[in-house]
């Protein structure tokens, strides 16, 4: 799970000696990671939560930390949450310029028959032969959850639903959704149509991150088409203090009630996936409870700023005796509030390194251990370039190292944990 942090110390190893440094600190965006293992002995009590949802994942958008999960990798029917992928593929083609929001697709008999008003699913109330704009169809998918809109888009982009499903599965593979397989564009439950809560959270992240210009449509509370006004089924959009601003619900008798939601409070965004709830009321209550818990119990902290020097390593045959270590991008972590003193870190490197060295050469690794027991490793690079020493200085250093039976160390970026420093 996630939370707040500061590093107690940065530890560097050189020549078998351990050096403890005052708190320096680290931040980095990671992909969705496994949930927290629980607090270590003697640590502050770790935040706990329970839910009646059969499946759940709560993740921090910026760090990727999973704050809570319940059966996060178990296969489940996504119902209309499937349409998030349908919408994502439409966004991709809009971004690439292959279609425009003002373009129009013709509604087929198939879209009307399988997703129109006479069916038992949600519908945009399209008419066969009609030509709604792509923007209207987009709204019909993400606001009213219209099955007819999803089929019309699938056919409009790929000639057939079957071809579109191939695109869906290819994109799922591209995004790393390894527990997901699609059989249709609407979410109709079949045995070969499934996903996981974690995969839906990853997909939601991509929707928000990859095409932010279209994300606002997911947060619209109502859409009127063909004189039919329909409200968004996402209950969190109607709770002002929730901070929720979009994504998608899903429901079938087989899967129960589900929701993929994102909420932004005080500049911090969380992504929530729940599924398998028994009623609409339970969906609303459990979703609010989990989000409130995540915002209340956890926070993000930057542990190390990009360019911040966190340690030094010795250099051989250089114009300076040592070079600073840093990270190329900020490292940010999510940890429980009031637990920053429980973060520990270790820098591992093998030195000295031979000059010349360019700035940004990867020469070490920084491992953070968070309060819940998770460990993350980040690359550490040189903070500045190092030129070769002049002839007399090189001669002196080579003579000195021969005297102490110096064993040549690897070049920058060629770390070897099996080779020990002199």
Residue 1 per-residue DSSP state: -
150 and 141 Cβ atoms separated by less than 8 Å: yes
Q: Would you put residue 79 in left (φ > 0), alpha (ψ -120 to 50) or beta? A: left
Is residue 228 helix, strand or coil?
Answer: strand
The CA distance from 7 to 5, in Å, is 7
Is residue 66 helix, strand or coil?
Answer: strand
The CA distance from 59 to 65, in Å, is 5
105 and 138 Cβ atoms separated by less than 8 Å: no
In a 10 Å sphere around its CB, with 0-12 CB exposed, 13-18 middle and 19+ buried, how is residue 28 labelled?
buried
Sign of the torsion angle spanned by Cα atoms 213, 215, 221, 226: positive
Q: How many residues does the chain have?
A: 422
Which member of 6, 54, 79, 80 is catalytic?
Answer: 80
Beta-strand ranges (E) seen in 103-226 are 222-225
Which residue from 1, 183, 204, 193 is spatially nearest to 88, judged by alpha carbons? Answer: 204
Q: Is 83 a catalytic residue?
A: yes
Q: Is 332 a catalytic residue?
A: no
Which member of 83, 171, 248, 332 is catalytic?
Answer: 83
270 and 263 Cβ atoms separated by less than 8 Å: yes
For residue 230, list its beta bridge partners.
223
Which member of 145, 284, 339, 345 is catalytic?
Answer: 145
The CA distance from 294 to 290, in Å, is 6
243 and 264 Cβ atoms separated by less than 8 Å: yes
The CA distance from 357 to 159, in Å, is 55
- Give the residue numbers annotated as catalytic, written as ranges: 80, 83, 145
């Amino acid at each position: 799970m996630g939370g707040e942090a500061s590093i107690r110390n940065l530890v560097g190893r050189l020549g078998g000696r351990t050096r403890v440094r005052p708190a320096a600190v680290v931040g980095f965006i990671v992909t969705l990671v496994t949930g927290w293992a629980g607090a270590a002995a003697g640590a502050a009590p770790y935040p706990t939560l329970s839910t009646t949802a059969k499946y759940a994942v709560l993740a921090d958008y910026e760090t990727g930390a999973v704050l809570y999960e319940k059966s996060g990798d178990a296969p489940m029917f996504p119902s209309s949450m499937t349409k998030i992928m349908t919408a994502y593929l439409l966004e991709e083609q809009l971004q690439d310029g292959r279609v425009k929001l003002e373009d129009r697709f013709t509604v087929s008999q198939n879209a009307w028959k399988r997703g129109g008003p006479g069916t038992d699913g949600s519908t945009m109330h399209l008419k066969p032969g009609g030509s709604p704009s792509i923007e209207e169809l987009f709204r019909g998918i993400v606001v009213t959850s219209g099955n007819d809109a999803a089929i019309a888009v699938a056919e409009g982009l790929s000639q057939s639903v079957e071809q579109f499903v191939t695109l869906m599965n290819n994109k799922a593979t591209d995004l790393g959704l390894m527990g997901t397989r699609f059989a249709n564009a609407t979410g109709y439950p079949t045995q070969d149509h499934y996903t996981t809560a974690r995969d839906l959270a990853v997909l939601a992240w991509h929707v928000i991150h990859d095409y932010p210009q279209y994300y606002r449509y997911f947060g619209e509370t109502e859409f009127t088409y063909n004189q039919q006004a329909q409200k968004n089924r996402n209950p969190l959009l109607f709770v002002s203090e929730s901070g929720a601003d979009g994504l998608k619900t899903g429901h079938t008798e087989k899967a129960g009630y589900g929701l993929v939601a994102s909420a932004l409070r005080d500049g911090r965004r969380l992504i929530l996936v729940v599924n398998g709830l028994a009623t609409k009321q339970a969906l609303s209550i459990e979703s609010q409870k989990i989000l409130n818990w995540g915002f209340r119990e956890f926070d993000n902290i930057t542990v190390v700023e990009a360019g911040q020097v966190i340690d030094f390593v010795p250099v051989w045959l250089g114009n300076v005796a040592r070079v600073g270590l840093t990270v190329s991008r900020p490292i940010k972590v999510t940890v429980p509030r009031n637990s920053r003193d429980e973060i520990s870190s270790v820098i591992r490197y093998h030195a000295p390194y031979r000059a010349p060295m360019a700035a940004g050469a990867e020469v070490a690794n920084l491992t953070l251990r968070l309060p819940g027991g998770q460990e993350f490793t980040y690359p550490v690079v040189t903070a500045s370039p190092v030129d070769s020493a002049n002839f007399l200085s090189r001669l002196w250093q080579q003579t000195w190292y021969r005297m102490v039976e110096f064993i040549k160390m690897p070049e920058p970026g060629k770390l070897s944990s099996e080779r020990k420093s002199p």
